[in-house]
Amino acid sequence: MIRRVYYKLLQIWWSISVPFRLRALGVRLGNGVQFLGMPIVSMSRGSTIQIGDRVVLCSDSRFTALGVNHPVVLRTLRQGAEIVIGDDTGISGGTICAAERVTIGKECMFGANVTIADTDFHALKPEGRRFNNNIQDIGASPVTIGQNVFIGTGAAVLKGVKIGNNSVIGAFAIVTRDVSSGTIAGGNPAKFIKNLQ
């Protein structure tokens, strides 16, 4: 009983404090967004993060069966970068980093600790790689995830990938190529496994 009351008080606190903090950073929040824990959010100047209606962001292991390794991380890395999360999507301890654009459709489910990044973060050419911050040398390409996509725990979706509607990505998959609608893909690198119908 005491635990239930404590958890309810936590949820009330997060429902007040998190939206206030995120709006102060410039995040656009839809109606009924639910926060279970405090996400980590940072935005480059001139970038946008848009979170749709009734999205659930779980950053606290007490509120998801598998637990999370870290809070939800939403990060834009360059001017003009965008993160768009569609209505009714749920993310548990996921990391989303956008140098250009990451778009997530409606009604998606992300298992614990999913990573989505549209950039290599560092230059690939070896000369001066450690200190090379020239964006011309750092690969980036938008990521698009369709509607009603289920991405299993620990999966990573890398730059330039498009995942079609109603697809499933297996746990710990590394997605480097497009995934067709209505299919299951898994493995490293992720490959077609079967059609869902």
Contact 178, 190 (CB under 8 A): no
List 8, 23, 62, 122, catalytic entry: 122
How buried is residue 132: exposed, middle or buried, by Cβ count under 10 Å (0-12/13-18/19+)? middle
Give the Å distances, CA to CA, from 115 to 10, 18, 91, 98. 26, 22, 10, 11
Beta carbons within 8 Å of 6's beta carbon, 6+ residues apart: none
Peptide bond into 19 cis (omega under 30): no
* 70 in catalytic set: no
Cα–Cα distance measured from residue 83 to residue 91, given in angstroms and rounded to the nearest whole number: 14
Cα–Cα distance measured from residue 174 to residue 186, given in angstroms and rounded to the nearest whole number: 8
Residues with active-site annotation: 122
